[in-house]
């Protein structure tokens, strides 16, 4: 199984290790093995769910038949012995999947990139031809994780206290990985509203660049021309001095387009907690199938009722929409 190169990538939460691993995979044409994604998939298997419930002697982390990983973490991060027992139990499941994926990489004559925080305490660490440790300051990691995972500082500290401690001497490369953070904000934007603009303005302060993606669905008729809307959005960016914003038009899956643009975080707007329940299901899908994270931004109270559908309804009734869309969009649609 060691006839092809296997590069192990480790790092603490928020270090950028997964972004680095994806970049390494693309550059080397290697199979990316994201162990966190594997665990997500394993925890959806009924047999695995039952074994975790049995181990923890509670099912309080099960919601609507699925494991809530944040609730699971609340239990595990309070008890190191329980955490160790959980890791041991899930390891056997991970091992079975990993062995098959490495065999597939070997059979295809391609290398493999293993993205796994716990790699050093597994048998696979010694199998790696190279071992890379990704580092980032604790303060920067915390800010990144709090935004990405929507958790409290206390939860972050508990997770940190239970995380693996790395010995830099065990690694072939120790990398302070600096990358430009990109957020991908997708929607039909038919039209682009002041609510959308507020989300973009919030996100533009957190990301090095924010990309607004106008999604085009051939089965759905647009009210406003996609290219004209793109130009209106770009004019709005200039008006609000958002130099780090760009706008693209695309068809197909949002996850595919985000990866094509080298964006690994999706941006979503929320009006209320009911929105969040719906969005979390989508976020789970995008994490599982594309490895994409999702961050949420709440609309301020005065914009909660603003929506593209409401604007089109007002236009049908010849009502004013001047305060509901940016000026460039208003100039386009009036």
* Residue 215: per-residue pLDDT: 96
Pick the last residue of a domain from 112, 143, 176. Answer: 176
Is the per-residue pLDDT at 2 higher than 80? no
Give the distance, in angstroms, between the CA of residue 170 and the centroid of all CA atoms in the same chain.
Answer: 29
- Whether residue 309 sits in one domain with residue 194: yes
Domain-located, residue 237: yes
Name the average pLDDT for the chain.
90
- Whether residue 74 sits in one domain with residue 30: yes
Q: Using alpha carbons only, what angle is made at residue 277 by residues 271 and 278, rounded to the nearest 5 degrees?
A: 80
- Whether residue 313 sits in one domain with residue 194: yes
State how far the alpha carbon of 254 is from the alpha carbons of 89, 208, 249, 251, in Å: 35, 20, 11, 8
Domain-located, residue 53: yes
* Residue 272: per-residue pLDDT: 80
Exposure string for 91-100, b = 16+ CB within 10 A, e = fewer: eebbeeebee
- Whether residue 160 sits in one domain with residue 217: no
Is the per-residue pLDDT at 329 higher than 70? yes
- Whether residue 262 sits in one domain with residue 226: yes
- Whether residue 192 sits in one domain with residue 306: yes
* Residue 202: per-residue pLDDT: 94
Domain-located, residue 1: no
Is the per-residue pLDDT at 50 higher than 70? yes
Please report, rounded to a whole number, the percentage of residues in the chain having pLDDT higher than 70.
98
Q: Tell me the pLDDT tens digit for each residue of 232-287.
A: 999 999 999 999 999 999 999 999 999 888 898 999 999 887 788 888 889 988 98
Alpha helices in the chain (DSSP H): 17-28, 35-42, 46-56, 69-76, 80-107, 124-127, 138-149, 153-161, 194-204, 226-239, 254-260, 273-290, 308-316, 327-333
Q: Tell me the pLDDT tens digit for each residue of 160-206.
A: 988 899 999 999 999 986 667 899 999 999 999 999 999 999 999 88
- Whether residue 188 sits in one domain with residue 312: yes
Residue 100: CATH number of its domain: 3.40.50.300
- Whether residue 275 sits in one domain with residue 188: yes
* Residue 179: per-residue pLDDT: 65
* Residue 1: per-residue pLDDT: 41
Q: Tell me the pLDDT tens digit for each residue of 266-276.
A: 999 998 877 88
Distance between CA atoms of 312 and 309, rounded to whole angstroms?
5
- Whether residue 261 sits in one domain with residue 242: yes
Q: Is 68 left (phi over 0), alpha (psi -120 to 50) or beta?
A: beta
Between 146 and 190, where is the model more confident?
190
Pick the last residue of a domain from 176, 200, 234. Answer: 176
Pick the last residue of a domain from 153, 176, 199. Answer: 176
- Whether residue 186 sits in one domain with residue 109: no
Domain-located, residue 172: yes
Residue 214: CATH number of its domain: 3.40.50.620
Domain-located, residue 103: yes
- Whether residue 162 sits in one domain with residue 75: yes
Q: Give the total number of structural domains in the chain.
A: 2
Helix (H, G, I), strand (E, B) or coil at 299: coil
Domain of 168 in residue numbering reads as 6-176
- Whether residue 140 sits in one domain with residue 13: yes
């Amino acid at each position: 199984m060691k006839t092809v190169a296997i590069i192990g990538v480790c790092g603490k939460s928020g270090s950028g290790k997964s972004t680095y691993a994806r970049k390494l995979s693309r550059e080397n044409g290697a199979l990316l093995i994201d162990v966190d994604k594997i665990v997500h998939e394993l925890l959806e298997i009924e047999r695995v769910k039952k074994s975790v419930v049995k181990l923890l002697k509670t099912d309080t982390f099960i919601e609507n038949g699925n494991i809530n990983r944040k609730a699971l973490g609340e239990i595990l991060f309070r008890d190191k012995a329980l955490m160790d027992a959980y890791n041991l139990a899930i390891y056997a499941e991970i091992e079975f999947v990993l062995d098959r994926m490495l065999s597939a990489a070997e059979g295809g004559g391609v290398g493999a990139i293993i993205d796994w925080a716990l790699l050093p305490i597994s048998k696979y660490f010694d199998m790696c031809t190279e071992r890379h440790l990704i580092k980032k300051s604790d303060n920067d990691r915390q800010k990144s994780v709090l935004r990405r995972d929507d958790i409290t500082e206390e939860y972050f500290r508990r997770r940190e206290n239970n995380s693996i401690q790395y010995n830099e001497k065990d690694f072939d490369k120790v990398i302070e990985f600096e990358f430009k953070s990109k957020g991908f904000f997708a929607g039909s934007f038919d039209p682009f509203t002041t609510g959308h603009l507020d989300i973009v303005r919030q996100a533009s302060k957190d990301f090095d660049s924010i990309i607004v993606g106008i999604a085009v669905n051939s089965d759905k008729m647009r009210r406003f021309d996609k290219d004209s809307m793109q130009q209106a959005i770009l004019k709005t960016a200039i008006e609000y001095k958002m130099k780090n914003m760009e706008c693209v038009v695309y068809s197909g899956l949002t996850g595919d387009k985000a990866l094509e643009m080298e964006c690994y975080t999706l941006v979503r707007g929320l009006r209320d907690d009911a929105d969040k329940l719906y969005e979390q299901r989508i976020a789970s899908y995008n994490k599982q199938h594309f490895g994409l994270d999702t961050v949420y931004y709440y609309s301020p109270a005065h914009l909660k009722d603003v929506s593209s559908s409401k604007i089109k309804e007002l236009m049908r009734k010849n009502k004013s929409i001047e305060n509901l869309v940016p000026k460039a969009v208003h100039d386009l649609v009036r």
